[in-house]
């Protein structure tokens, strides 16, 4: 095992939070113009407009404080806390979270005056809100699928939301199981989606079409501008953010930081795409994939009410409950899980 499961739990939630902060900053940057493929991607990672100092969420806190907190962030934190407290999926807890999430979405869309987000980004935001569920039930994709379906039905989500959650949940599970490969993740995800229902819906077919287009872009090593143009079509509009997140993750597969920097250049969709890119990449790279300066032992504001340290602690508690330790407050400060001979206590 290259990274411990604890590291992957933490990396998924923390990289998603970092992505949201970076995406909020990225929305204020000039729009991306047409340029080359790989060479331009390298230039973007070191361009003056986006540097380690400028996109660091601790240093960009003043910018974040002027924007409404991400509704999915509150929901994800509440989902994680509910799982820690009860040790399982709770219909009562999830129903309450869904009511608050719906209200927060209405308020956020009104304040930002972005009616398009209610349609184009709904599925991606719901996938982010249910990240703790995808993590907690990752070892059994059938159970994970059941839980995610029950949750979106309880939240009375629009048609098409379920397909996006299943795709992201499956990819998260593949990351924790160390089964992610750059050119095969999307084909396997598509097969999983086709097998997940006996009667494909129009929205499911649209998502499959978007992921198939993303796979072509990955194989062609297409640039970010090309990917944005091709995926921002009427047929794929409901799944644009999810498709772009898969593209940003797989096109910069070996570097979580570069994946986030590219996702931050997705314009209006930047915060959602960047957060989802962080979750996908974090489940694969673990906590060690995040920039070292961000992982220093000092609080940085993330997801409104939680700092990076508090969010990391919540991920640790979620992992402790999943692993069978039902009293996470008494868990050891450091937990290490790995194959024999790969990692040993000092």
**Of 203 and 336, more confident:** 203
Q: What is the mean pLDDT of the chain?
A: 81
Q: What average pLDDT does range 253-282 have in this prediction? A: 92
**Of 201 and 187, more confident:** 187
Q: Which of 4-18, 45-59, 118-132, 259-273 has the lowest mean pLDDT?
A: 45-59
Work out the end-to-end distance of the chain between its first and last CA atoms, rounded to an integer number of angstroms: 18
pLDDT of 104 > 60? The answer is: yes
Instruction: Tell me the C-alpha distance between 231 and 316, whole Å.
Output: 36
Q: Which of 20-29, 115-124, 157-166, 227-236 has the lowest mean pLDDT?
A: 115-124
Q: What average pLDDT does range 266-290 have in this prediction? A: 92
Instruction: Tell me the C-alpha distance between 271 and 277, whole Å.
Output: 10
Percentage of the chain with pLDDT > 90? Answer: 53
Query: What confidence category does residue 21 fall into, taking pLDDT thresholds of 50, 70 and 90?
Result: confident
Residue 255: phi, psi to the nearest 5?
A: -135, 105
pLDDT of 127 > 80? The answer is: yes
Tokens of 90: 């709770």
Looking at residue 131, its pLDDT comes to: 97
Looking at residue 343, its pLDDT comes to: 44
Query: What confidence category does residue 12 fall into, taking pLDDT thresholds of 50, 70 and 90?
Result: very high
Q: Which of 91-95, 103-107, 218-222, 262-266 has the lowest mean pLDDT?
A: 103-107
The two beta strands, 301-302 and 306-307, are antiparallel
Query: What confidence category does residue 329 fall into, taking pLDDT thresholds of 50, 70 and 90?
Result: low
List beta partners, residue 306: 302
Question: Is 5-330 CATH 1.10.4080.10?
Answer: yes
Looking at residue 267, its pLDDT comes to: 85
pLDDT of 341 > 80? The answer is: no
- Contact between residue 227 and residue 244 where contact means Cβ atoms under 8 Å apart: yes
Query: What confidence category does residue 95 fall into, taking pLDDT thresholds of 50, 70 and 90?
Result: very high
Residues 6+ apart with CB under 8 A from 234: none
Query: What confidence category does residue 107 fall into, taking pLDDT thresholds of 50, 70 and 90?
Result: confident
**Of 78 and 59, more confident:** 78
Looking at residue 64, its pLDDT comes to: 47
Tell me the pTM: 0.85
Instruction: Tell me the C-alpha distance between 251 and 219, whole Å.
Output: 9
């Amino acid at each position: 095992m290259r990274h411990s499961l604890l590291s992957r739990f933490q990396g998924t939630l923390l990289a998603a939070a970092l992505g949201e902060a970076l995406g909020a900053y990225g929305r204020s940057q000039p729009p991306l113009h047409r340029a080359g493929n790989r060479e331009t991607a390298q230039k973007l990672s070191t361009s003056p407009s986006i540097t380690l100092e400028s996109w660091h969420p601790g240093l960009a806190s003043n910018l974040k404080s002027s924007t409404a907190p991400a509704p999915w962030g509150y929901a994800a934190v509440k989902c994680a806390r509910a799982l820690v407290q009860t040790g399982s999926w709770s219909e009562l807890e999830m129903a309450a979270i869904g009511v608050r999430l719906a209200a927060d979405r209405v308020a956020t869309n009104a304040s930002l005056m972005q009616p398009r987000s209610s349609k184009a980004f709904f599925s991606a935001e719901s996938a982010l809100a249910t990240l703790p569920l995808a993590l907690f039930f990752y070892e059994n994709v059938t159970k994970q699928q059941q839980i995610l379906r029950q949750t979106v039905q309880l939240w009375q989500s629009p048609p098409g939301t379920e397909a996006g959650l299943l795709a992201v949940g499956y990819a998260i599970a593949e990351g924790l199981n160390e089964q992610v490969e750059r050119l095969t993740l999307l084909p396997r995800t598509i097969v999983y989606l086709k097998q997940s229902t006996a009667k494909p819906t129009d929205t499911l077919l649209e998502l499959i079409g978007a992921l198939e287009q993303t796979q072509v872009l990955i194989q062609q090593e297409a640039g970010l501008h090309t990917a944005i143009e091709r995926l921002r079509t009427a047929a794929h509009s409901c799944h644009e953010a999810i498709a772009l997140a898969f593209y940003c993750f797989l096109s910069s597969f070996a570097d979580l930081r570069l994946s986030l920097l590219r996702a931050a250049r997705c314009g209006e969709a930047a915060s959602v795409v960047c957060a989802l890119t962080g979750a996908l990449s974090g489940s694969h790279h673990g906590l060690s994939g995040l920039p070292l300066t961000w992982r220093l032992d000092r609080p940085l504001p993330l997801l409104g009410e939680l700092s990076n340290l508090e969010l990391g602690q919540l991920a640790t508690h979620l992992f402790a409950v999943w692993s069978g330790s039902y009293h996470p407050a008494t868990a050891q400060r450091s937990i290490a899980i790995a194959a024999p001979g790969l990692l040993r206590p000092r």
